[in-house]
Every structure is written in structure tokens, then in C-alpha cells.
Structure 1
Amino acid sequence: MDGATLTGSTFTLTTGAAATPVQGTVIYGNSKAYFTPSTPLASNSSFTATISTGAKSTMGMALAAKLTWTFTTGTTVAAAAPVSLGTAGTYVILAKTGISTVPTSAITGNLGVSPAAASYITGFSLIADSTNVFSTSPQVTGKVYAADYAVPTPTNLTTAVSDMGTAFTDAAGRAPSVAELGAGNIGGMTLAPGVYKWGTSLLIPTDVTLSGSATDVWIFQIAQNLTVSSAARILLTGGALPKNVFWQVSGLVDVGTTAHCEGVVLSQTAVTLHTGATINGRLLAQTAVSLDGNTVVQPAQ
């Protein structure tokens, strides 16, 4: 399908005999369209989803007739689904404009930059592979990819960057279960699974614990910046996994000296890790990632 034609006007949801519209957002990625309601759907209620003939294929062909289906919600709250990263999940660090390091960092997983060229990956002493599809680095246990490498790397990176944007939109569109916790300061707290939303910046000055099981999901929606103070740690207990923790940040991400983070960082701007900071997760930035003697390890799947 042509993703540009799958919008809030062509993909709609209504409820009840009066067909009351349900407010929400529509995103398209990984060959799927997703409708995320602005607030959780009422339990034990009937809903009707409709895709109109305004939806078209990539060749510009409209649906011959509108597609409609109904469903009824249950009476229990299901666990939140993880944010799908698509092919962006094949990288531990993915950025659009560059990745830099002050040696020596230790990175486990693949690096990628696009549309920037390999010259914008600095401090890694890159060694080009004979195929020119990727390069390697003494600081990276994995491969390094850039937009100016040989095919199929440019196309793969374009898709991954697109998937990164889709994941950001997905995470931002989830209905929050908690808003403005701690007035933007959650130092010392233990947080249950859920979707947490702040209309301002978020500060983590001291250790924060995420307590839950291996299937639980945390999504943190931050309208401005995320700052993790020096030596502060994000801790996981009860079997919680970093692959199920998502930090959706519309501003800058700044992780202080020797701080430790867990989870997938989805930043609309830049990510900076200061000296000795570590993360068990992924850094997916829509501008640049800056490292300074850091350890970055991709989470187990």
C-alpha cells in the first residue's frame, strides 16, 4: 500500500450504534497500518474499523470498495505490546548525521549512518571490507554500515532509518497510563510496567528501578529532553528485559559520566553519552550519537 494514503481520514474507528468516532493516530510501517487510540478503548464494547477507498496501492490504484470489520473488546487489560523496531532493530546504534567516539569505546552490535557517509563515523579507525558493503572497527563487535557503501547497504539503511521513524511515532502515539509523574523528576522511584508521559523534560538524578516480568513493557514519552545524571542507574528487576523498555524522546538525550541505562532510546534529535557511561540497549537517533569511552551492548532478543 501507499503509506501516505493510510491516514486518520482513510483508516477510521467508530463505536456504538451511533458510530461515534474514536480519536487516534494512524501510522504505516513494515507493510502494516496501525491505529493507536488517544485513550484506551472501553472494555466489553463493540467497535467498527473502516478503510475507505481513499487508500491506494503503491501503483495508485484505489480500493474497489471500502473494507469494514468489527470487534469487541474484552474485560481484562492486556499487556502492552513492545514497539516494533523493524529493520532498525538490526543496529545497536543508528543515526542520520553521524556517530563519533573518543576512544576507546566498546560496542556490541552493528552501527549504521544514513544518509550521512562513512566520513561522519569518526574515532573508530574503520577498516573497509573487501566488498565495501561494510567496515569493521577494533571498538565494535559487529559491522559498521554507511550510506556511501556498496549495495545493498544504502537501500538497507534507508529502510532502517524509515523504520526508526515509524517506531518513534508508534511509541509517541501510545495512550499513557501515567502522566507527569514526579513533575519530571523520577529519581529514586520504582516503576511498574506502563506508558509514562511528560509534557516537559525528564530528569533522572538518582537510581530508578523498573520492576516487572520478562513480558512486561515500559514506554516513556518525553516531550523535551532526557537527562540521566552522572552515576545514576536504570535498574531492571523481576526478570524485566531491556528490549521491552523504550525511551521516546523528542529532544536531546544526555547520559552523564559513569551513568547506566537500560532500554531502547528513540531520540528525535541527538544522543550524548559522557565518559564511562554504559547502556544495555540501543541508541536510535534522528540526528547524531556522540560517545566518550562508553560501553554499548545490544539487548538479547
Structure 2
Amino acid sequence: MTVLLASLLSLLLAGWSGASAAQPQPAVALGTAARFAVLAGDSVVNTGDSTVTGDLGVTPGVTVAGFPPGNVIGTVHVDDAAAVQAQSDFAIAYDDVASRTPTDTVPTDLGATTLTPGVYTSVSGTFSNTGNLTLDAQGDPDAIFIFQTVSTLLTAAASTVTLTGGAQARNVFWQVGTSATLGADSTLAGNILALASITAGANIVINGRVLARDGTVTLDADTITRPAGTLSISVPQNADLGSARAGSAGVSAPLGEVTVTDTRYGPDTAWIATVSSTTFTTGGATASETIAKSFISYSPGETTDTTGDATFAPGITGSLSSARTAFSVSDGTGENSATWNPTITVTLPASVVVGEYTATITHSVA
């Protein structure tokens, strides 16, 4: 009689389509405000040939003035439901950014400075930039930069912000306790979140957003481009399913949390995450040293965490003999994310021999 001794079955995991590394600061969720390049509480007033790429909105005010036809490449929302929801989501994001614990206190003038990811304050409670500020993400495209002010943000004429090391404008946040004033012919990267107003001088280029909770956004022949969003998935790097003995049904264990994050800001956001597996093997070539994919089952379960207003739907439990849907999202607006902890079940074939078996499970999202 052959006895199957305890066999350790383990999983090596792989992620695809933008698997993200852990970051020191959690992402800032703008919600539906992420769709907007310009958002104001009282009014948006433009002089000259300004171009806005992304939605433009105002609420509770009703004034949008001075934009030539076709110069808003997006939708204009004047005190409508979308603007109201965006201001509500923006208020939550503002409070989140303002409440982050500072990681460093730096001089008020950021010119001629290079900074790595973190949450920054100044002794004066304000920030200015009279030269070039370099933000270095050190190879992490998800790195967060936050600048907190008690009162104002001032940038000088022709000042610049340079992103390097994979830094992304979507991950830079300027939290302004009162108002921001930007000098003519300057460039700025990131999202200005101002409690009062934002005034931009002539010919400014902003790779980011200008969002004012209570006051006015004033533009003058400026170019504002909402940062492009991303769709990414993160997975555990390894998992241990445990062991099984002769005559047992097999093993079943959680894989660990899988998270999809969507910041593409589309009006009808949708994505599908799929999962596939290799066979389990001890490294040998015989059939008895292999557990075929048909013996591996994937159960996504329910979400353990979500953000956004999308409809989140788990896939159907079943065999990984071929790729299958793990989770999907439909009819969302703005940013969303979903986290789930799937269960992997491996049934033992009658002919399997003792050994340590490994496989690779791959999640992807599109």
C-alpha cells in the first residue's frame, strides 16, 4: 500500500498590468473631483486664450466666464449634480491631505530644492517657489508628495516644478489654507487644493488640477491639463497553502489580498480582472509529479474594501484550467478601487507523489 506523506503545497504569485509596490503615504482619493481640471466654489473667470483639458465646474456659484468656444476639452458643469458631488468629494480629499502627519519641515522658498516623497510643511506656514523645485520619486511612480500650508502658496514668474525618478503629477498635492497665486510664465505640476481662491497669471502651464472650495479660479491665457489616470493591480508576492495527507481532499487557503485601483476618471469606468495559473509541480517531468490546472479552483469571495461608486461584482468560483474572471466593475464615475482575498483550493490526484509543489498564479486587469 502506498502512503502519501505530508506534502507542502506553496504558491509563488505574479502580478501583471501595473502591479504597484507599497508606498509610505496612502493614495489621495479625489473621487469624482478627479474628473475635473478646474473646480471652483464661487466662479471661474478667464481672460485670454486659456485651454482646459478635463471637466470644468462651479458650485454653489453659477458663473463661468471668458472661455472661447472649444477651449474646454471636457464637460462644463454649472451648479449641477456632478459639480455638487465633485465639491463634496473634494472637501473629503482636502481634509485628508490637510490631516496627514508631516514628515519634514523645509524652508518656505522651494526654489533650487530637490525633494523626495513625503508630507512637507514650512516654519512660516506658507510656501513659495522662486526658481525650480525638483520632485524625485526615486523610481516609485506611486510616490506621494504633499505640501501643507496654513495660508498661502505663491509662485514667482517663470518658476518651474520638475518631476523626475518616475514622479507623477497626479500624486503631487498642494494643500492651501487660504489662496494660491501663480506667477506669469511659470509651470507647475500637481493638484492645487485651495480652501479659498486660485489666481493664475498669464501663460502658465499646469500639469494637474486647480480646485478651489469656496472662492474663484481666475485664469489668463493659461494651459491646464488634468493628469492621465491609470489602471493597476497589486497582489501578494507569495503564499503558503499548507499541507495534505493521503486520502485527504486536498488543501484550501486564502491567497492574500488582491487590489485593483482605477484612477482613469472616465464617466463610465469599467474593468475586468482575470486570473490564471500554471500547473503545480515538484520540478519533475512525470504525471505523478504534477497537479494539473483542472485540480485548482479559485473563489474570489466578496470585497474586503472598496472605494468609489461603481458596481463591484465577483467572478464565479471555478477551475483554473483556463483563465477566468476574478472580479469586475461597471457603471462607476471617477476613481474606484476594489480589494478581495480569494481562496485557492487544490484537489489531490490519486497518483500524486510526495513532494513540495509550487505554481504561479497571475492576475491581470484591463
TM-score (norm 2): 0.54
Calculate the aligned-residue CA RMSD, in Å: 1.2
1:124 aligned partner, one-letter code? F
**2-structure distance, mates of 1:208, 1:291:** 23
Instruction: Give identity over the alignment, percent.
Output: 33
**2-structure distance, mates of 1:124, 1:276:** 15
Distance change >3 Å, CA 156–CA 208, structure 1 → 2 = same
**2-structure distance, mates of 1:155, 1:110:** 13
2:63 pairs with 1:139: no
Match of 2:28 among 83, 87, 98: 83
**2-structure distance, mates of 1:105, 1:89:** 20
The corresponding residue for 1:285 is 212
Deviation (angstroms), 1:78: 4.5
**2-structure distance, mates of 1:138, 1:160:** 22
2:169 pairs with 1:245: no
Deviation (angstroms), 1:238: 1.1
Per-residue deviation, residues 49-86 of structure 1 (Å, max 9, x unmatched): xxxxxxxxxxxxxxxxxxxxxxxxxxxx9521121111
2:138 pairs with 1:193: no
The corresponding residue for 2:158 is 231
> What secondary structure sits across from 1:116 in the alignment?
coil
**2-structure distance, mates of 1:293, 1:145:** 21
**2-structure distance, mates of 1:229, 1:81:** 30
The corresponding residue for 1:8 is none
2:120 aligned partner, one-letter code? Y
Count of paired positions: 204
Match of 1:167 among 82, 93, 114: 93
The structure 1 segments of at least 4 consecutive aligned residues displaced by more than 4 Å after TM superposition are none
The corresponding residue for 1:110 is 55
Instruction: Between the two structures, name the one with larger relative contact order (CA 8 Å, sep ≥ 6).
Output: 2
1:194 aligned partner, one-letter code? G
> What secondary structure sits across from 1:274 in the alignment?
strand
> What secondary structure sits across from 1:169 in the alignment?
helix
CA contact (8 A) 2:23 2:142 kept: no
Determine which structure has the larger strand proportion and give its number.
2
CA contact (8 A) 2:169 2:191 kept: yes
The corresponding residue for 2:41 is 96
Match of 2:136 among 207, 211, 216: 211
Larger Rg: 2
The corresponding residue for 1:16 is none
**1-structure distance, mates of 2:179, 2:83:** 23
Gaps of 5+ in 2: 1-21, 230-366
Gaps of 5+ in 1: 1-76, 126-136, 148-153
The corresponding residue for 2:227 is 299
**1-structure distance, mates of 2:83, 2:216:** 15
Deviation (angstroms), 1:159: 1.4
2:224 aligned partner, one-letter code? V
Deviation (angstroms), 1:200: 1.9
2:104 pairs with 1:178: yes
**2-structure distance, mates of 1:293, 1:82:** 32
The corresponding residue for 1:56 is none
